[in-house]
């Protein structure tokens, strides 16, 4: 038997650590923007773009990076993403160190540019998902990806809670220096701990495709990569993948959107302080959503992703209705918690279904679902703001009808998928095989 490195547990651990470090960029400017806005005299629109810019690159770079895992291997791709993130944070630090000698316009443009680079770390989600998928058998995909995404997704909430204290003790530049050191340490750990899946390791050792696949299957590998171009093409022609994009748009994209929107909701509509809003958003909502992704993956493995999707989107929709009718702190907190539970479980259910529907296009499907689905974080906040401009203050509550509408649509799609494929928990159904998803 050929010598190969790594195992599924090490693969999961290393990918989760890397994703946690990269995904923290969701909170890159969320707290510090108040200081930056004062220093640079930024408008509300400029503040909005500064906060959003990491999410823009983090969303749309998921597609190419995830597909590249199938050609380059996950280790090389994730290291590249971490390295680009380090360059971005380095640029932010240098800009802040020289901000007194720069014009406000130039400093703002530099912070936007380096923020976009730092946001590359957010895109590790999809490349890491592909990386982990190749390590685990189909029956364990939900649990493995639930652990990976669940703990990785806690980063914005944790960083949102830590940064205010870092600003007090270390200052603005010191806070970003701490962030930079954290990225450096994680990158070094990932470099020495991670390994590509058995199949790609054997190909690099000179084994033929047939022999590499045979040995890898003996070692327990069930899902295999194709070329980057092929995996994107195969994924894009599967209508099941596009349904998953829609589902993920409201569960994960909606999660990112509320992470941005809720501080404004809590301060402007409910009337709490900015510190209280940070706790209600970062800890109560963001962390809870992330952590519920872990049991969501386990339940999806046990009961089937389609069935769990129906239940979770129902919970999400119910929570949105509470938010629509709530005018008080306690009821809104309950609504927020219900939505967080539904979103966390739904996110896990979607990625349990992804390798089931796109067995031979996991990289491309992960990029499309993760990239286009997360675009909800870009488009939903403006929609919520538009409702406020029409209805005034009460629009903060009425805006949650966006989640109600998408939630109902998602329930309908999940029911359709359940009746078509629900009896096949882990394996590819005969119908999907006929659609060339299960072909090798």
Model pLDDT, residue 184: 96
| Long-range own/partner contacts, residues 83-86 (CB < 8 A, 24 or more apart) | 83/187, 84/117, 84/120, 84/121, 85/21, 85/22, 85/25, 85/117, 85/118, 85/119, 85/120, 85/121, 85/183, 86/180, 86/183, 86/184, 86/187
Nearest to 316 by CA among 285, 294, 299, 338: 338
pLDDT in tens, 17-58: 999 999 888 878 877 877 888 899 888 668 777 887 888 888
CA 257 and chain centroid, separation:
12
Model pLDDT, residue 17: 95
- Residue 32: what are its φ and ψ, rounded to 5°? -70, -15
> Mean pLDDT over residues 101-110, rounded?
94
- Rounded CA-CA distance 417/421 in Å is 6
Question: In this model, does residue 260 exceed pLDDT 50?
Answer: yes
* 393: DSSP letter: G
Question: In this model, does residue 227 exceed pLDDT 80?
Answer: no
What number of other Cβ atoms are within 10 A of residue 3's Cβ?
Answer: 7
The domain made up of 1-223 has a fold known as Growth Hormone; Chain: A; (1.20.1250)
Q: Do 31 and 278 touch, CB atoms closer than 8 A?
A: yes
Model pLDDT, residue 428: 55
- Which position has the higher pLDDT, 60 or 119? 119
Instruction: Classify domain 226-425 by CATH architecture.
Output: Up-down Bundle (1.20)
- Cα–Cα–Cα angle for 406, 410, 415, nearest 5°? 155
Burial degree of 188 (CB within 10 A; 0-12, 13-18, 19+):
exposed
> Mean pLDDT over residues 191-210, rounded?
90
Q: Do 21 and 156 touch, CB atoms closer than 8 A?
A: no
- Which position has the higher pLDDT, 228 or 439? 228
Q: Where are the domains of the chain?
A: 1-223, 226-425
- Helix residue spans in 265-328 (DSSP H): 274-278, 288-303, 305-325
Question: In this model, does residue 426 exceed pLDDT 50?
Answer: yes
- Rounded CA-CA distance 126/180 in Å is 22
- Which position has the higher pLDDT, 93 or 268? 93
User: pLDDT band at 429, cuts 50/70/90?
Assistant: very low
Burial degree of 77 (CB within 10 A; 0-12, 13-18, 19+):
buried
Q: Do 218 and 335 touch, CB atoms closer than 8 A?
A: no
CA 303 and chain centroid, separation:
24
> Mean pLDDT over residues 185-200, rounded?
93
As a whole number, the mean pLDDT across the chain is 88
CA 393 and chain centroid, separation:
30
> Mean pLDDT over residues 334-353, rounded?
95
Model pLDDT, residue 320: 98
Which two tokens mark 27?
């909170």
Q: Give the list of residues 6+ apart from residue 117 with CB closer than 8 angstroms, or none.
A: 57, 84, 85, 87, 88, 91
> Same fold for the domain at 1-223 and the one at 226-425?
yes
User: pLDDT band at 430, cuts 50/70/90?
Assistant: very low
pLDDT in tens, 121-148: 999 988 998 899 888 887 887 788 888 9
* 428: DSSP letter: P
- Helix residue spans in 101-208 (DSSP H): 104-118, 124-133, 141-152, 155-193, 198-204
């Amino acid at each position: 038997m050929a010598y190969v490195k790594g195992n599924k547990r090490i693969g999961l651990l290393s990918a989760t650590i890397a994703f946690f470090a990269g995904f923290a960029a969701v909170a890159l400017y969320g707290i510090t923007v108040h200081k930056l806005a004062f220093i640079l005299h930024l408008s509300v629109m400029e503040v909005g773009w500064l906060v959003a810019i990491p999410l823009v690159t983090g969303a749309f770079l998921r597609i190419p990076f995830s597909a590249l895992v199938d050609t380059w291997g996950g280790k090389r791709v994730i290291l590249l993403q971490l390295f680009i993130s380090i360059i971005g944070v380095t640029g932010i630090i240098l800009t802040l160190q020289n901000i007194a000698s720069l014009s406000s316009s130039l400093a703002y443009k530099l912070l936007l540019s380096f923020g976009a680079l730092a946001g590359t770390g957010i895109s590790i989600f999809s490349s890491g998902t592909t990386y982990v998928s190749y390590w685990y058998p189909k029956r364990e995909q939900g649990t493995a990806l639930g652990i990976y995404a669940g703990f990785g997704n806690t980063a914005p909430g944790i960083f949102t809670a830590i940064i205010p204290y870092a600003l007090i003790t270390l200052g603005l530049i010191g806070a970003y220096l701490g962030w930079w050191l954290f990225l450096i340490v994680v990158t070094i750990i990932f470099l020495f701990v991670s390994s590509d899946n058995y199949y790609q390791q054997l190909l690099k050792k000179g084994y033929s495709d047939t022999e590499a696949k045979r040995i890898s299957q003996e070692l327990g590998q069930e899902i295999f990569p194709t070329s980057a171009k092929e995996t994107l093409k195969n994924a894009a022609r599967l209508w099941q993948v596009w349904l998953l994009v829609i589902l993920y748009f409201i569960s994960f994209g909606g999660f990112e959107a509320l992470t941005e929107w809720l501080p404004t909701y809590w301060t402007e509509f409910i009337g709490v302080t900015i510190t209280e809003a940070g706790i209600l958003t970062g800890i109560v909502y963001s962390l809870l959503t992330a952590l519920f992704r872990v049991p969501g993956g386990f339940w999806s493995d046990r009961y089937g992703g389609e069935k769990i999707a129906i239940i979770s989107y129902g919970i999400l929709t119910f929570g949105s209705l509470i938010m629509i009718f709530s005018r008080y702190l306690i009821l809104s907190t309950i609504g927020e918690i219900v939505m967080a539970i539904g979103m966390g479980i739904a996110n896990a259910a979607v990625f349990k279904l992804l390798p089931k529907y796109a067995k031979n296009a996991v990289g491309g499907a992960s990029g499309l679902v993760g990239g286009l689905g997360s675009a909800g974080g870009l488009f939903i906040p403006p929609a919520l703001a538009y409702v406020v401009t029409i209805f005034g203050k009460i629009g903060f509550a009425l805006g949650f009808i966006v989640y109600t509408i998408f939630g109902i649509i998602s329930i309908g799609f999940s029911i359709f998928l359940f009746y078509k494929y629900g009896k096949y928990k882990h394996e590819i159904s005969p119908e999907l095989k006929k659609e060339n998803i299960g072909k090798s």
